[in-house]
A and B are shown apart, each in its own frame.
Chain A
Amino acid sequence: MIGRRNPVKDKVAFANAATTGFTPHNTDRSALSLVTEACIAVLRDLGMTASDVDGICGSIPSAPQVQSALGIPDVTWFANPLVPFVNQLTAAVAAVHAGFCDVVLAYHAAYRLPWNTAGALKDPFRRGQALSSGPSVGPGPESVVAAVGYTAWASRYFHEYGAGREDLALIAINARSNAARNPAAAMRDPITMEDYLAARMIRWPLCLLDMDVPVDGADAFVITTAERARDLPYRPVLVHAATLGIVDHNEEDQSPSLHRHGQHVVVEALRARSDFWIDACDVYFPYDGFSIIALNWFENAGWCDPGEAGAFLRDNWDPVTNRVLIGGRVPVNPHGGALSEGGTQGSGHIREAVLQLQGRAGDRQVPGAETAIVTAGGFFFNAQGVVLRVG
C-alpha cells in the first residue's frame, strides 16, 4: 500500500552543499578529517557557526564524533543511518519537519575501506574498518550477495532483453564525459566505447568501468526549514518528495524479477507524492554505483520501456559532448556520477542536484534548472529517491 500523503512537501530545504572533492587513492587522512573539512566549508559559506547547528545526520564517522570534533555545543537530534544518502536525507528532513531540530548538518564520507577496495589495505589505519553492519559477504565465491548481486541481475537483463555490454557502456561513457567538467571528480579523462570494451573484466558481464570508483572525499549539507533557508545566502532547494523503496523478497538472489524490486516502489511512491515527474525534470540523477542500476532506473522511472534503455540512450546521445542529453536538454549525472566523480553512495548526486538548482554548478550548469530528480540506490534493500525544486 503506497500512500499519497506528503505533509512535508516543500517544507524543508537544502540551504547549502559542499564537497572536499574526490581522489581514487588512499589519502593520509581519516574519514573524520574529510568530513570536518566539508562540514566547516558548508557552514562558513552560509555565515554559520557551530552553535547554529542543532541536528547532525551522516554515515561515517558517527554523529557524536563529528559533533565533538567540530565543537557543536548543543544537539537535540542526531542519527547515523546506513547509506545510500537518501537514508540520511529522509531522516534529516523528517527531523526538521517534526521539530526535533531546526538546522541539520548532514554529511557523508566516501572513504576507501576494505569493503570497497583491497587497495585500502595498504593503509594500516584502514584495516578492519567497516562502512556499516550491512550484508556480510559470503564465505566463498559461490554467492551473489552484496556487490555481486548487480552482476547477477545484469546477466538476467541481458538474457531477457537481448541487451549487451555496449548498452552498459553508454552509462560509463556519459559519466566520464560529464566528469571532465567537474573539478571535484576522481576520473576526468574521457573514455571511448573501445576503451570500455577493452577494460578488465571483473565478474562477467560487468567490467571495471561498470563499477563505481572507490574514493576518499566527503560531502556536507545544511538542511533546515524552507522558511529559515530563505534568509540564507543561496536559493533554497526544496525537498518536494522523498522515499525509500523495498519489496518483501529483497535478498539479492530472491528478488522477484526485473519487473518488481525496490526501484518500482520508489517510482510509484514519488509519482504519488510529487506534483511533477520526468516531463518537468531539468536534471536527472540515476544512481550508478553499478552501470546496470542506472540502466534499469531509466526504464523504471518511465523515460523508456523495459529493456529499451540502451536504445533510449543512443537516441538521446549528444555527439558533440559525447554524453546523454535527454530531448537535447536534460543531462544525466552531470557531475560524473559514482562511476567517474567517485563512489559517494548517492551524496555526490544529491550535492550536484543542490548546486545545479542553486545555479552554482560552474561549467556544468544547466541553464535555468529549477527541478531535479534523484533516483538513488539499487534493486534490493536500498532503492530510494528524491524530487527537488527551487524555492
Chain B
Amino acid sequence: MDVTDEELVRLFPGHPLTHDNKAAYRGRLNRLLLVNRCATCRRWHEPPKPVCPACWSTDVVPTPVAGTGTIFMAIFLHQGPPAEGVDYATPYPVVTVELDEQEGVRFTTTVVGAPNDEIRIGRRVRLDWATRGGAPMPVFRLSEGER
C-alpha cells in the first residue's frame, strides 16, 4: 500500500513518526514487521536509526524479520492509557520479545490469544497482526516450546 507521508501520520495518531521510522510504519500497512539492517556489516538494530550503530554505515535497509522470537520481559498492566480493544479488568500483557535475527534486538507489543498465566519469559512466540484505529498493529502469539 503506497501512502503519502501526510496519510501515514494520519493513520498512526499519537505514534512518534519520524523520517527514521516512516519506512517501518509503511511496512505495517503491508503487515510486514520491518527492522533496520545494515547492508554493509549485516547487523540489525531497533528502533530505526539513520546510521548503523555498529559500523556507521548509512546504508541501513528496513528489512522484514521472520517474526519469531522468545519473550524476554513480560508485564501485566492493571491500569493504563485508554486504547481500543484493551480492557484492564483482565491485566493486559505487554511483552518485549528478543527476535531470532540477532541477540539483543527486541520488539515490544502485546500477546493475543493466550491466558495470562501462559505468557511467561522464555516462551517462544510468532508475529501476528491485529488492528488499532483501522491500522495494522503487530502482536505476538504463543508458539509451542520454551527457550
Q: Which A residues form the contact surface with B (CB < 8 A)?
A: 136-137, 139-144, 148, 151-156, 159, 200-205, 248-249, 251, 253-254, 256
Kindly state whether residue B106 has any CB partner on chain A within 8 Å: yes
Known contacts A139-B12, A140-B14, A140-B83; is-contact A202 B94 (Cβ 8 Å) = no
Whether the Cβ atoms of B78 and A254 lie closer than 8 Å is no
14 chain-A/chain-B pairs, Cβ below 8 angstroms: A136-B16, A139-B12, A141-B86, A141-B94, A141-B110, A142-B108, A142-B109, A142-B137, A144-B75, A144-B96, A155-B74, A200-B78, A203-B77, A254-B105
CA of A291 to CA of B72, assembled, Å: 20
- Specify which chain A residues have a CB less than 8 angstroms from the CB of B86 in the assembled complex: 140-141
Whether the Cβ atoms of A141 and B77 lie closer than 8 Å is yes
Beyond the given pairs A136-B16, A140-B86, A148-B94, 16 more chain A to chain B contacts, judged by CB atoms under 8 angstroms and listed by A's residue number, are A139-B13, A140-B83, A141-B83, A141-B94, A141-B110, A142-B137, A144-B75, A155-B73, A155-B74, A155-B75, A156-B73, A159-B121, A203-B76, A204-B75, A204-B78, A204-B91
Kindly state whether residue B5 has any CB partner on chain A within 8 Å: no
- Specify which chain A residues have a CB less than 8 angstroms from the CB of B57 in the assembled complex: none
Kindly state whether residue B145 has any CB partner on chain A within 8 Å: no
B116 to chain A: closest residue by CB = A204
Q: How large is the interface on B (under 10, 10 to 19, 20 to 34, 35 or more residues)?
A: 35 or more
A144 to chain B: closest residue by CB = B108
A200 to chain B: closest residue by CB = B78
Main secondary structure of the interface of A (DSSP, over half): loop
A389 to chain B minimum Cβ distance, whole angstroms, is: 38
Q: Which of A140, A141, A156 contacts B121 (CB 8 A)?
A: A156
CA of A159 to CA of B81, assembled, Å: 26
Q: Which of A137, A139, A203, A254 contacts B46 (CB 8 A)?
A: A254
A141 to chain B minimum Cβ distance, whole angstroms, is: 4
Whether the Cβ atoms of A152 and B104 lie closer than 8 Å is no
B45-67 residues at the A interface, CB under 8 angstroms: 46-47, 53
Whether the Cβ atoms of B121 and A256 lie closer than 8 Å is no
- Specify which chain A residues have a CB less than 8 angstroms from the CB of B74 in the assembled complex: 152, 155
CA of A144 to CA of B72, assembled, Å: 12
Whether the Cβ atoms of A201 and B94 lie closer than 8 Å is no
- Specify which chain B residues have a CB less than 8 angstroms from the CB of A254 in the assembled complex: 46-47, 104-106
- Specify which chain B residues have a CB less than 8 angstroms from the CB of A204 in the assembled complex: 75-78, 91
